[in-house]
């Protein structure tokens, strides 16, 4: 009977025998990434890094999308960890020191003290989330004597990257990929409930002039098309450098990532 159950578990692995965080970590391990944790203002955040040394130099910090905050429009997910490992794949192709920083309550931490579904639904970009991630980044910078940080935020991770760029002085470059940087315009477009309690880049002050911005949008992205951020681009002018890529929201980026990194450098 044990062997029968084991066989069923292996056969149904993708259907739930391994949890989403376990599958995510296995994917990272298969890519040669090292996993870890870093504390951040009442939460612990998952990290995945490549093998390049960061001591005293520059770091590419990758920030993932919102994952799966909702199972349906009316049913909140019990675990918001991303099902799509695109950002891990992007990081694995980065030749410079690079690290993935997870969000509070993701990667198996949804039941940890202080966690609540609000933090991955309406409050997914709230002060609590941004402060925790800024604290974690500050600790990484101090521990590894990092001098320069490039933030790379995919989808909702681009929103968080924007806010981190405002708070962490070592950030010199901001790269967003398919990012919903105007929350009001994005939720209105899809008929979503307003993200009350979340910090909206489009409603706040611009980034300091020393942060170089590079915002990549997919020509075939129906989730965050270019028109969502067009008012913000017009408002900020040349500082908001936007580039259109032949990609969708999640597809097309992986193949182009090495060339885009070369262009960034």
Q: What is the pLDDT of residues 137-160, one digit of tens each?
A: 999 999 999 999 999 999 999 999
| Helix count and strand count (H, E) for the chain | 8, 8
CATH number 3.20.20.80 is the correct assignment for the domain at 20-264: no
Separation CA 188–CA 228 (nearest Å): 10
Helix (H) / strand (E) element for 47: namely strand 43-49
Give residue 7's pLDDT: 40
In terms of phi and psi (left: phi > 0; alpha: psi -120 to 50; beta: otherwise), the region of 258 is: alpha
Give residue 265's pLDDT: 76
φ and ψ at residue 19, rounded to 5 degrees: -70, 165
Q: What is the pLDDT of residues 215-242, one digit of tens each?
A: 999 999 999 999 999 999 999 999 999 9
Contact 153, 159 (CB under 8 A): yes
Q: What is the pLDDT of residues 62-101, one digit of tens each?
A: 999 999 999 988 899 999 999 999 999 999 999 999 999 9
Q: What is the pLDDT of residues 25-67, one digit of tens each?
A: 999 999 999 999 999 999 999 999 998 766 679 999 999 999 9
In terms of phi and psi (left: phi > 0; alpha: psi -120 to 50; beta: otherwise), the region of 256 is: alpha
């Amino acid at each position: 009977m044990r062997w029968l159950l084991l066989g069923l578990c292996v056969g149904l692995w993708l259907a739930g025998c391994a949890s989403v965080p376990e599958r995510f970590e296995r994917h990272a391990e298969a890519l040669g990434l090292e996993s870890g944790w870093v504390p951040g203002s009442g939460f612990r955040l998952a990290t995945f890094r490549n093998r390049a040394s960061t001591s005293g130099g520059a770091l590419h910090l990758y920030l993932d999308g919102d994952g799966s905050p909702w199972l349906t429009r009316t049913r909140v997910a019990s675990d918001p960890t991303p099902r799509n490992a695109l950002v891990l794949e992007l990081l694995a192709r980065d030749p410079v020191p690079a690290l993935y920083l997870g969000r509070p309550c993701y990667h198996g931490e949804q039941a940890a003290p202080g966690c609540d579904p609000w933090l991955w639904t309406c409050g997914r970009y709230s002060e609590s989330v941004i402060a925790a991630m800024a604290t974690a980044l500050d600790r990484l910078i101090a521990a590894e004597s990092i001098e320069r940080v490039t933030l790379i935020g995919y989808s909702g991770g681009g929103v968080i990257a924007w806010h981190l760029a405002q708070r962490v002085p070592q950030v010199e470059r901001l790269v967003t990929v398919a990012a919903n940087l105007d929350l009001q315009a994005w939720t209105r477009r899809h008929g979503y409930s307003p993200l009350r309690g979340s910090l909206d880049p489009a409603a706040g002050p611009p980034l300091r002039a020393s942060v170089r911005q590079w915002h990549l949008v997919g020509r075939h992205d129906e989730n965050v098309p270019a028109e969502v951020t067009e008012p913000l681009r017009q408002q900020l002018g040349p500082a908001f450098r936007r580039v259109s890529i032949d990609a969708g929201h999640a597809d097309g980026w992986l193949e182009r990532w090495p060339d885009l990194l070369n262009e960034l450098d």
